[in-house]
Amino acid sequence: MAAWLTPTRRAVRWTPAFVSVAIAMATLIVIRLADRPLRSDAQIIVLTMVVIGGLCGLADPGRDYVHALPVSAARRLAHRLAVLVPPIALAIVIVRWMGDAMFSEVAPGPGSLALAAFGAAGVALCATLTRRVGPRAGDAAVAAMLAWLAAGLMLGKLDAPLGLALPWLRWPVLVLVIATVATVVSTTRGAEA
């Protein structure tokens, strides 16, 4: 087993991810009990809630302690992603399966690539903010992603173009590439705050 795995697994905040998955499942159950159809916007909210719960685990509580050590920010982020991504991907699969099993008709929701783009945008934002504001950057990134999701859904209700409201849903590959480049640049360039 890799030497970094156990300390990284212990440092990750798992509670927000577990709570977001539980809320996503409870939301599906409530929609089913109310005998309502599973609309596209409900799927977007439920699935991105799981992704946002995973983003909560990106907070780097040991950043101040390992800042002077020869462990780069990119490596620390890669370790946290290696620990977080598999359980979050499994949770998304379970929530999708639960939606398919509970509802006879399921409106099209965000695909895996769109959810990856949304998550990558959150990772890029967290990496950029970590360099600027420090350990509380994870919470700020999660708040910004929630605000982006809410604003996008409201703009969608106002018939705004999907590319403007939720670009990660309309152009997931482009958002994924931009977010990946932003993450790499913010974890490898310049001096940390």
Domain ranges in the chain are: 5-188
What are the two backbone dihedrals, phi and then psi, of residue 111, each rounded to the nearest 5 degrees? -80, 175
Average of per-residue pLDDT across 53-82: 74
Spatial separation of the C-alpha atoms in residues 56 and 193, rounded to whole Å: 21
Sequence-separated (6 or more) residues with CB below 8 Å from residue 184 = 74
- Asked whether the predicted pLDDT for residue 31 surpasses 70, the reply is yes
The burial of 74, by beta-carbon neighbours within 10 Å (0-12 exposed, 13-18 middle, 19 or more buried), is given as middle
**Distance in angstroms (rounded) separating the CA atoms of residues 48 and 56:** 12
Would you list the DSSP string of 108-136?
A: ----HHHHHHHHHHHHHHHHHHHHHH-TT
- Integer-rounded Cα Rg, in Å, for the chain is 17
Q: How confident is the model at residue 57 (pLDDT cuts 50, 70, 90)?
A: confident
Q: Compute the distance between CA of residue 118 and CA of residue 120 in angstroms, rounded to an integer.
A: 5
- Please state the pTM of the whole predicted model: 0.87
Farthest CA pair distance, the chain: 56
